[in-house]
């Protein structure tokens, strides 16, 4: 199924990145991670809920020995505006001292959420922290985050849904990414 537009509640969204383009880019990122983490046994740390499809497809491209872990935070609380308040719903249980961490995120928007997570992780003494994000809105950034090493797609500063991202809880199951029609 590849509709050109989708409607969720009161909003219409048009296709922005199709499923084939997403999968091709994930293969490229997998190759980069395999080259850069050979022998390092990284922890791939998914940030729920939005990461779940991206992470599932990405880890299938990772050949190096790695562990999988999750954290859950909320910052949009279902709407279209970042609330600049990060709620911690589920913390990482693993000891990450002396480990290489690759954070797997759906989207870096203002950077508030990532700044919060990176600072929290660094206090636990990992060897390195790197961010791999599906989407990045460079013009929305309000923080400097030099840990962002892998970006699948840079997009303009408009609200998107699909492939893990929701609007009012819906749309996470779409296999493509859609942009709101203003
Ligand atoms: P930040 O803290 O960087 O402003 O926002 C990060 C979080 O806000 C993301 O993990 C995601 O949950 C949510 N977010 C930011 N932009 C979008 C967007 O365009 N669409 C959706 N569905 N969520 C977004």
Helix 52-59 × helix 19-36 angle, to 10°: 60
Task: Give which of 73, 76, 64 is closest to 31, Cα–Cα.
Answer: 64
Q: How many angstroms separate the alpha carbon of residue 114 from the centre of ligand 1? A: 10
Asked if 149 contacts 132 with a C-beta cutoff of 8 angstroms, the reply is yes
**What pTM value is reported for the model?**
0.95
pLDDT confidence tier of residue 88, bands split at 50, 70 and 90: confident
- Ramachandran category for residue 21: left, alpha or beta (phi over 0 → left; psi -120 to 50 → alpha): alpha
The residue behind tokens 């910052």 is 75
Position 182 pLDDT exceeds 80 = no
Mean pLDDT of 49-77: 93
Q: Please list the active-site residues.
A: 109
Among left, alpha and beta (phi > 0; psi -120 to 50; other), residue 174 is beta
Q: Which helix (H) or strand (E) holds 114?
A: helix 112-122
pLDDT at position 82 is: 67
The tens digit of pLDDT for each residue in 5-55 reads 999 999 999 999 999 999 999 999 999 999 999 999 999 999 999 999 999
Write down the pLDDT at residue 78.
59
Domain boundaries, the chain: 5-180
Residue nearest to atom 15 of ligand 1 (CA): 109
Burial 65-76 (b: 16+ CB within 10 A, else e): ebeeebbebbbb
CATH class of segment(s) 5-180: alpha beta
Smallest CA separation from ligand 1 atom 11, residue: 107
Reply yes or no: is the peptide bond before residue 32 cis, omega within 30 of 0: no
Report which of 49, 48, 6, 31 is spatially closest to residue 160, judged by C-alpha positions. Answer: 6
Alpha carbon 84 to its chain centroid, in Å, reads: 17
Give the number of C-alpha atoms closer than 13 A to the C-alpha of residue 119, restricted to the C-beta side: 10
What are the pocket residues of ligand 1 if the criterion is a CB atom closer than 6 Å to any ligand atom?
A: 50, 75-76, 82, 105-114, 159-161, 165-167
């Amino acid at each position: 199924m590849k509709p050109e537009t989708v409607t969720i509640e009161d909003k219409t969204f048009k296709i922005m990145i199709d499923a084939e383009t997403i999968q091709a880019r994930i293969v490229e990122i997998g190759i980069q991670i395999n080259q850069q983490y050979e022998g390092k046994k990284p922890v791939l740390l998914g940030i729920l809920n939005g990461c779940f499809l991206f992470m599932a497809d990405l880890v299938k491209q990772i050949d190096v020995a790695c562990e999988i872990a999750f954290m859950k935070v909320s910052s949009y609380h279902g709407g279209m505006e970042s609330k600049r308040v990060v709620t911690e719903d589920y913390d990482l249980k693993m000891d990450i001292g002396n480990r290489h961490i690759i954070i797997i995120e759906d989207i870096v928007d203002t950077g508030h959420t990532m700044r919060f997570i990176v600072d929290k992780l660094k206090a636990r003494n990992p060897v390195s922290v790197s961010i791999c994000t599906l989407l990045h809105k460079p013009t929305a950034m309000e923080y400097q985050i030099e840990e962002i090493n892998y970006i699948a797609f840079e997009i303009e500063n408009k609200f998107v849904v699909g492939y893990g991202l929701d609007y009012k809880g819906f749309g996470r199951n779409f296999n493509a990414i859609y942009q709101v029609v203003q």
